[in-house]
């Protein structure tokens, strides 16, 4: 591959943004915001260039870049993307940009906020382009740790507890992943953490059977797999708007991506062996998340638990090990990312203005703030899998994949989708329709500048909803390669 090292450049965009933000004196708040926006804009441009350079008919990892790093201990810089990573890069760039715009009104400790946020995004981009397991986990943890400060400083509702719980859960996940990776490399007998090199070797069946659950659960913590999901709603509720967007929208995908990229690729045999178990966990995620969401009174808790439920769909798709299922899973990662970002962005505006997220204290919002309400309603409909929005295709594909392998699970999932519809409708009706609450403050609707990022997310959901091939054609070659490996 010739041309500029775009993938490295993409990781550097937020990293340079971080340095620039550190250099701007904290009292120039607007300058800090603009620097962050420039960094996000640059990330979007580079992502677009990457997408243009990407050959959707090509196979394997494209735009590969390699550099020796610590050759004596088998660590090298190896970046490369396939369709799956490309889609997630686009998602990340999108959420980064909208996240910066959504937080434009932030006024406390602005410099620190955007510094930590760009650090987090650096980590996320890094994970999606890394093909070397050292750097994969390096960036994985870079993405996790700023969360603590972002939530604990700028969050709300039990923020210290939520932040600490989230951080410890996620790091406990990596405490499983790091030894598992080291043992995998040791057993495969090569002195290299390069995924493409490791994929050439075959681990013994027994080793796979033990190591796969360590990787699945370790990464699964971040994907919100039941019963290790409890950090997720608490963390999302506590986090400030853009952090919720990034976290539920992008960070949880890192977990699913780790399972797909590391665990399933390196241990196909074990993936087969454990598939029924992981599918069962996924079904619990879907059903349990939906039930709990039905009973919540805080808008953010509803979204938090709906995320648990939706990530279950991702995990179920992966557990089918079929091309359809994995396609659906990746599609769901993308559409859930955009949808949740929209969800939290919509709620963020409402909370900023009404100072409550309690469904009981809201009501009739669609009359007072029709545009703000529309954003939330679009997200809720997407979540419910209404045709015309992106999630419909994702859920359909996962359902088709599951039907072939686990018919019972498929039946249960259809039931759960009705629940999803139920909690979505419940929230829409109670909070957004009916009579406006008497005590509502006089609130203006979303100003155009703040509506822009949210409208962008809606546009993506609708465009992909009507033209799913935009995502599917990119993802398919990669998922077919993976499901071929798993056969």
Partner 1 sequence: MSGWLAVLPELALALTGLAIFAALMARGDAAVKARRTARVGAVVLLAACLATLGASGDFLYHSYLVNTFSQLVKLAVALGFALSVFVTRDAAGQREDARGETFFFLLTSTAGLMLMASAVEAVALYLALEIASFSLFVLVPLRRGFAAGKEAGLKFLVVGLGASIVTLFGLSILIGLTGTTFLGPMADSLTLRLHEPAAMFGLGLFTAGFLFKLALFPFHFWAPDVYEGASHGVAAFVATASKVAAVAVLARLLSLGGFAGSALAAALAVAAAVSMTLGNLVAMVQRDVKRMLAYSAIAQAGYIVVGLVAFSPDGLAAALLYAVFYLLMNAAAFLVVARVSDAVANPSLDDLRGLYQRSPLLAATLLIALFALAGVPPTAGFVGKWLLFRAAVGSGWWWLVILGAVNSTASVYYYLVAVKHAYLLPAETPAQQRAIGLTFGDRALCYLLSAALIVLGVWPTQLLDWTQRAAATLLR
CB of 127 to partner 1, least distance (A): 11
CB of 202 to partner 1, least distance (A): 19
Structure tokens at 77: 């810089």
C-beta of residue 483 within 8 angstroms of C-beta of residue 323: yes
- Compute the Cα dihedral for 115, 120, 122, 123 and give only its sign: positive
CB of 108 to partner 1, least distance (A): 12
172 makes contact with partner 1 (CB under 8 A)? yes
72 makes contact with partner 1 (CB under 8 A)? yes
Structure tokens at 18: 């971080």
Question: x/- string (CB under 8 A) for partner 1, residues 95-114?
Answer: --------------x--x--
149 makes contact with partner 1 (CB under 8 A)? yes
67 makes contact with partner 1 (CB under 8 A)? no
Decide whether 14 or 465 has the Cβ nearer to partner 1. Answer: 14
C-beta of residue 287 within 8 angstroms of C-beta of residue 416: yes
Tokens 């506590």 locate to 238
Residues 23-52 that bind partner 1 (CB under 8 A): 26
Cα Rg, the chain, nearest whole Å: 21
216 makes contact with partner 1 (CB under 8 A)? no
176 makes contact with partner 1 (CB under 8 A)? yes
Q: Which of 179, 205, 388, 447 binds partner 1 (CB under 8 A)?
A: 179
Decide whether 4 or 182 has the Cβ nearer to partner 1. Answer: 182
Stretch that binds partner 1, among 147-155, 258-266, 404-412, 460-468 (CB under 8 A): 147-155
Q: Which of 40, 94, 152, 450 binds partner 1 (CB under 8 A)?
A: 152
Q: Which of 139, 228, 393, 406 binds partner 1 (CB under 8 A)?
A: 139
CB of 219 to partner 1, least distance (A): 14
Q: Which of 34, 45, 56, 145 binds partner 1 (CB under 8 A)?
A: 145
Number of neighbours of residue 467 by Cβ within 10 angstroms = 12
# residues near partner 1 by CB under 8 A: 32
Size of the chain, expressed as the number of residues it contains: 487
C-beta of residue 229 within 8 angstroms of C-beta of residue 285: yes
Stretch that binds partner 1, among 163-171, 307-315, 386-394, 427-435 (CB under 8 A): 163-171
Can you give the binding site for partner 1, defined by CB under 8 A? 26, 69-70, 72-73, 109, 112, 134, 138-139, 141-142, 145, 148-149, 152-153, 160, 164, 167-168, 171-172, 174-176, 178-179, 182-183, 185-186
């Amino acid at each position: 591959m010739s041309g500029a090292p775009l993938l490295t450049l993409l990781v550097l965009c937020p990293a340079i943004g971080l340095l620039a933000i550190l250099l701007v004196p904290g009292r120039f708040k607007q300058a800090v915001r603009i620097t962050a926006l420039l960094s996000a804009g640059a990330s979007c441009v580079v992502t677009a260039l990457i997408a243009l350079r990407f050959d959707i008919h090509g196979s394997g990892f494209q735009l590969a870049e390699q550099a020796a790093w610590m050759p004596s201990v088998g660590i090298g810089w190896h970046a490369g993307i396939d369709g799956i990573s490309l889609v997630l890069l686009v998602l990340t760039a999108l959420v980064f940009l909208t996240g910066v715009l959504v937080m434009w009104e932030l006024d406390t400790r602005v410099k620190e906020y955007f510094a930590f946020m760009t650090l987090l995004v650096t980590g996320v981009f890094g994970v999606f382009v890394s093909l070397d397991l050292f750097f994969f986990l390096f960036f994985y943890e870079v993405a996790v740790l700023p969360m603590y400060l972002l939530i604990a400083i700028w969050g709300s509702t039990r923020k210290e507890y939520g932040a600490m719980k989230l951080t410890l859960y996620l790091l406990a996940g990596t405490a499983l992943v790091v030894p598992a990776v080291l043992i995998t490399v040791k057993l495969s007998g090569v002195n290299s953490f390069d995924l493409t090199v490791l994929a050439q070797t075959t681990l013994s069946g027994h080793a796979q059977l033990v190591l796969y659950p360590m990787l699945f659960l370790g990464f699964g913590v971040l994907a919100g797999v039941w019963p290790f999901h409890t950090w997720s709603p608490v963390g999302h509720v506590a986090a400030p708007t853009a952090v919720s967007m990034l976290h539920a929208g992008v960070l949880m995908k890192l977990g699913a991506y780790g399972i797909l990229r590391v665990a399933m690729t390196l241990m196909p045999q074990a993936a087969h062996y454990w598939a029924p178990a992981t599918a069962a966990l996924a079904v619990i995620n879907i059903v349990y998340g939906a039930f709990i969401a039905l009973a919540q009174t805080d808008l953010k808790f509803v979204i938090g638990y709906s995320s648990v439920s939706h990530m279950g769909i991702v995990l179920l798709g992966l557990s089918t090990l079929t091309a359809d299922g994995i396609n659906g899973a990746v599609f769901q990662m993308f559409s859930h990312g955009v949808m949740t970002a929209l969800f939290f962005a919509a709620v963020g505006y409402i909370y900023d203005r009404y100072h409550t997220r309690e469904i009981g204290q809201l009501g009739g919002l669609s009359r007072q703030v029709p545009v703000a309400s529309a954003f939330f309603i679009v997200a809720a409909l997407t979540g419910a899998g209404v045709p015309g929005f992106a999630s419909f295709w994702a859920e359909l594909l996962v359902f088709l994949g599951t039907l072939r392998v686990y018919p019972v699970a498929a039946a249960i999932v259809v039931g759960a989708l009705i629940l999803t519809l139920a909690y979505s409708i419940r929230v829409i009706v109670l909070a957004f329709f009916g009579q406006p609450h008497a005590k509502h403050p006089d609130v203006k609707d979303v100003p155009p500048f703040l509506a822009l990022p949210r409208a962008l997310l809606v546009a993506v959901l609708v465009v992909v909803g009507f033209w799913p091939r935009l995502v599917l054609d990119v993802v398919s070659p990669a998922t077919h390669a993976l499901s071929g490996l798993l056969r």
